[in-house]
Amino acid sequence: MRCMACAAGDTVADTTTLSLSSKSARLSIECVPAHVCTQCGEVFFDVEVAERVDEIAEEAFTTDAADIVRRFGEPS
């Protein structure tokens, strides 16, 4: 797939670590499936992956922990 950000590169299937934060916590989700541009490095997610990331974040940010690490695809 051609990169939608730079239009110069193609995207390849890979995984990435996604970092999110709220006012009181930081969340790292490891091994998130993604499409990464070979030219500019921009990262794109399929809709299903983005929906699952939202679910993981919602669950994680309801805890009292300040630094949270989750691995994509593993039970929370």
- Domain limits of the chain? 11-71
Tokens of 53: 């990331």
Q: What is the pLDDT of residues 6-45, one digit of tens each?
A: 999 999 999 999 999 998 899 999 999 999 999 999 999 9
Q: Does 59 have pLDDT greater than 70?
A: yes
Q: Does 74 have pLDDT greater than 90?
A: no
Paired sense of beta strands 67-71 and 43-44, if any: unpaired
Task: Report pTM.
Answer: 0.88
Tokens of 63: 């805890």
Question: Which architecture does CATH list for 11-71?
Answer: Roll (3.10)
Cβ-count burial of 54 within 10 angstroms (0-12 exposed, 13-18 middle, 19+ buried)?
exposed
